[in-house]
Amino acid sequence: MLQGEGALTLRDRVEQHLQAIYHDISLDISFTEFADDLLGLMRLEVDENTPLQHTNHWNQCDTILITYGDSLLATDEKPLVTLKRFLDDNSEGLLSAVHILPFYPWSSDDGFAVLDYSSVNEALGDWSHIGEIAAGYDLMADLVINHCSSRSLWFENFIKGVEPGKGYFYTASPEDDLSSVVRPRTSPLLKEVETDEGTQYVWCTFSHDQVDLDFRNPEVLKQFVSIVRQYLDEGVRIFRLDAVAFLWKVPGTTCLNLEETHEVVRLLRTLVEHARADAVLITETNIPNRENLSYFGNANEAHCVYNFSLPPLLLNTLVTGDCSYLKQWVMSMPPAQNGTAYFNFIASHDGIGLRPAEGLLSDEELDALIVTMQSFGGHVSYRALENGENRPYEINIALYDALQGTVDGPDDWGLERFVCAHAIMLGLEGIPGIYLHSLLGTHNDHQRVENTGHARSINRHQWNLDLLQEALEDTQSSHSRVFSRLKALLATRRRQAAFHPNATQFTLHLGSAILGFWRQSMDRRQSVFCISNISPQPQPLNLRDINLIDAHQWQDLIGGEVYESHDQQLELRPYQTLWITNLPDHR
């Protein structure tokens, strides 16, 4: 909380945020007027009551499905209608929330070059379809806040020098010191543009069709506050702040994670939580682990941060059969304060990021992982370093194919390895997010890569719903087996208080081939020992090694086995996971 916050009005708090953001910028408006404008856009009163702090807006029943609006297609039906129909017919109440990736009109990057933030892409449906999904599921939407399309009305107006758009985009000079700028692409940072005011060089962190907005201009902030208000009105509860780490630029710096960026997140947190007490901000910051954690602030910035280090570390663990790096990282992660949580995922619409593994995996480990993934049909995307060299940025591959084997090559344990990955993720402290194509066991889509020319398309398959339903009804298909196994894990997880996202977690030391950690419910009544064999060989386990309390009867929640002796010797099958609890599972 801000110093002296208890005596401050909401206007005072907003003013403090604005003063911290624009401390060295001369504005044509007073901070009080600026604050009143933002409160007006959010329809908030100056003396609005401050929501209770350190409140968890989630529990063990929460799982977020990640999907594009058009990942499922049916004849003569808008894709958003198809998506809701699939969820209603197949999720069985196991998915509490849906993250629909950018559903706005766009020009490139599968939605992340937004043409119009206030509209729904007509090819997907309209706001009524979004509202129907929001009525049945918590809706997570992208606030693509760092940049928008070079073909947007805003950018066209920027070129013409008229509103809205005049002064909306960040410009720099090729003579500026940009040597320290960190970015995830290899294309030139600056794009030369002819405007009515002459030649300008606009800043493009990602691509030349994605032009960075200039938040030094108060009108840009006002626009996004207005957009946030509209999304709340349309039923959005969870906001994903896309690429927010790059928001504020100062030449001569890295232009990454600057203090002004953090203050913008704090401001949005203040406004959003006053507008809807259970609204949630999630920062999407694909950066090294320590920097990523900084977006929690002092429980006053993001409610949740993407746990970006988990995908590469877990993938490395399962293809090498050695959990040492993953275990070391799990031990190092600080417990999230109440009111904050980790957002755990192991696959998404993007690739498996390698920057979050920097300092956690050696260069040799990363090189071996890349070679293995390429042998399984994956691609590698690169970023430019300040010395002009290119460095691997992410691995592009469908997770099911990424786990088809080990560093020794493909084997027959792919399905078990894939399920093991999800069992580990579902057991860890945090809120789980499952990518639709992982839930369905979708394979690499090489044809889509060939059609689009983009490596990320490999994991962005579009399913015909009729063909998908046939695959799911065929109990022998890999899609059906994945779907049923993951749904069973989700059903079990949501019944366990020890899997609350903020429940206690301690790491167990069971050797390099067995990953183990202990979860305890917040009322301390339930314990769950999560134990996974992460190797292709059977592994011995003596229950004595995990110190089960004699006063309790212990049961494996996944397999159902009851352990009569606390000194029992077990043999874990390759990639088998046990969730051993002291409380019976009430199905």
Residue 284, both tokens: 């999407």
Go through 514-546 and write b for each residue having 16 or more CB atoms within 10 A of its CB, e for each that does not. bbbbbbbbeeeebbbbbbbbbbbeebebebebb
Burial string for 336-350 (b: 16+ CB within 10 Å, else e) reads beebbbbbbbbbbbb
d(CA 24, CA 36): 21
Nearest C-alpha neighbor of 142 from the set 108, 106, 97, 103 = 103
Is 401 noted as a catalytic residue in this protein?
no
Tell whether 242 is in a known binding site: yes
Helices (H) and strands (E) in the chain, counts: 17, 27
Catalytic residue, chosen from 62, 142, 209, 242, is 242
Crossing angle between the packed helical segments 465-473 and 478-493, to the nearest 10 degrees: 80
Listing DSSP states for 37-84 in one string gives HHHHHHT--TTPPPPPSS-----TT--EEEE-TTSEE-TTS-HHHHHH
Tokens of 540: 């011995």
Taking the CB of residue 211, how many other CB atoms lie within 10 A of it? 29
What gap in Å lies between CA 15 and CA 38, rounded to an integer? 10
CA–CA dist 98, 356 (Å, integer): 25
Distances (CA, A) of 75 to 121, 304, 464, 467: 18, 37, 9, 12
3 state SS of 222: helix
Whether residue 567 is annotated as binding a ligand: the answer is no
CB neighbours (10 Å) of residue 561? Answer: 14
Q: Residue 345's closest CA among 101, 77, 82, 518?
A: 101
Which CA distances in Å does 427 have to 168, 235, 306, 307, 344?
44, 29, 16, 14, 10
446 is in an annotated binding site: no
Quick one: which of 308, 381, 384 has its CA closest to 348? 308
How far CA 361 is from CA of 20, 97, 288, in Å, comes to: 37, 32, 11
Does 349 show up as a binding residue in the annotation?
A: yes
**d(C-alpha 16, C-alpha 5), whole Å:** 10
Residue 299 neighbours by CB under 8 Å, 6+ apart = 53, 54, 337, 338, 339, 340
Contact 524, 507 (CB under 8 A): no
**Burial (CB count <10 Å: 0-12, 13-18, 19+), residue 584:** exposed
Contacts of 175 (CB under 8 A, 6+ apart): none
Phi and psi dihedrals of 353, rounded to 5?
A: -65, 140
* HSE, side-chain direction, 13 A CA sphere, residue 353: 24
Feature table: binding site: 109, 147, 240-242, 349-350, 456
Question: Catalytic amino acids?
Answer: 242
Feature table: binding site for substrate: 109, 147, 240-242, 349-350, 456
